[in-house]
Amino acid sequence: MLESIFILPLIGILALLITPRDDIMRLWKVGLEWSLLTLTGTKLLWASFDGDGQFQVVKRLDWIPGVEPGFGFVILGVDGISIFFIILTALLIPICVLISWNSIRFLIKEFLLCLLFIEVLLMGVFTILDLVGFYILFEGILIPMFLIIGVWGSREEKIQASYYFFFYTFIGSVFMLLGIFTLYSYAGSTDYQTLCCLKLEKELQYFVFLGFFLSLAIKIPKIPFHIWLPQAHVEAPVAGSVVLAGVLLKLGGYGFIRFSWPLLPDASEYFGPLILTLSLFAIIYGSLTTCRQVDLKRIIAYSSVAHMGLVTLGLFSHTVQGLVAAVFLMLAHGLVSSALFIAVTFLYDRYHTRLIKYYRGMVITMPLFGMLLLILVLANASIPLSCNFIGEFLSLLAAFEYSFIAGVLASVGMVLSAGYSIYMYNRICFGVSSKYLYFSRDLNRREFYSLLPLVILIILMGVFPFSVVDEVKGSIIFQERD
């Protein structure tokens, strides 16, 4: 069952390679069909999951025969944390194909190959139980994402944005590699389960943790390592923004959950106050910076900085509910921010501007769009019965349990989030129709069905959160017990 989530997108890559370049409609259909089949495979994988907290459907792959122990083999496995990130990845890729159907007009085969290649690498990142393998896949994602931003970006600064993304992430990852080599020199292995059984010295933990922290903090991104994010979002095509906000930003949080707590508990405890301080600063600063933005994509990008601050706040609050909140909030943010980027791009495709001052009265001419955007904006503001509310509520509970002051400051960030979200919606949809907008047309069928699955999941996860919370909590408790 686990092999299917790798085999299906790889078959899709082969099918794209043999499809004629000039048969454009066939290329889009092949990309959509195989990405949907991969989504089906992830659903079957989840159906076979019993939720006892342990790694399941474990597979051993011989990597370099004769070098065991160490780099001789890698192990793949899925638990209650990684299964939902796998499903999120498989869900967003076909949506990326749908929303790019009319906006990508050149090198279509290469664009679809990049999307499916990213999917394969992300599936590997969320299933591999080896530090070197994780690093290789973690870094491998940079190449197709660099191409998506630099080649198919929408504006003149796309090359600069792609280099920002590449070098910030690459330089940070060098420190992770140093930490991995340090662990290997101490333990003689990079196998995750083997390292979990070891008790590392505190000084060694501190050194390794700093290496992992610099790499993962850039990927989240955490202030002051966030400079690359708004630029990358603004210049990337809509599919690039969706993959970036929906999944790639979650690799940092996933890395902290998977490696920092189980392998480096003393260092996580020692550096916790510093990271919590940076998280609170990110929540307040990110929210205030969002309030002064005039570009719709920058509004969503800076709001991501604030929301991911809540994620790390929950992660390093030293509570189980904080860890559950972090995972749930990452999943919720992956749905809501991706849907908001898609909605903003629908406006950009019609009027070729993202400056908010040109929009007004869209609900009159685009009522269907106005309704869906209202749901997304309210979810971004963490209204009850939305998935963001569950994650942020649990995160605030963990913050108040850790410190009353931390809880109050985090709550201020939530108030600011509601302010800029509702203000953005009011500027776009209400008031007299703008004189700059003519020939408005509502969402077509393809656009509507691109947003609908995300909207439904946002509501379902807010109304029935236990389906996610129970499995995540079981894996976290099992991980801490080990």
Q: What is the DSSP letter of 5?
A: H
pLDDT of residue 88: 93
Dist. CA 147–CA 167, nearest whole Å: 13
Give the residues of the chain that fall short of pLDDT 70: 1, 51-53, 62-73, 439, 477-482
Q: What is the DSSP letter of 358?
A: G
| Amino acid sitting at position 108 | I
Short-list 215, 218, 208, 329, CA closest to 263: 208
Beta bridge partners of 355: 295
The tens digit of pLDDT for each residue in 202-221 reads 888 888 898 889 888 888 88
pLDDT of residue 69: 47
Dist. CA 255–CA 147, nearest whole Å: 24
Short-list 275, 174, 148, CA closest to 217: 275
Dist. CA 350–CA 373, nearest whole Å: 16
Is the distance from CB of 321 to CB of 394 less than 8 angstroms? yes
Q: Angle at CA 337, nearest 5°, toward 331 and 339?
A: 105
pLDDT of residue 335: 93
- CA dihedral over 472, 473, 474, 477, signed as positive or negative: positive
Q: What is the DSSP letter of 289?
A: H
- Which residues 6+ apart lie within 8 Å of 422 measured at CB? 377, 381
Residue 59, φ and ψ in degrees, nearest 5: -130, 135
Largest CA distance in the chain: 73
Q: What is the dihedral of CA 176, 180, 181, 182, to 10 degrees?
A: 100
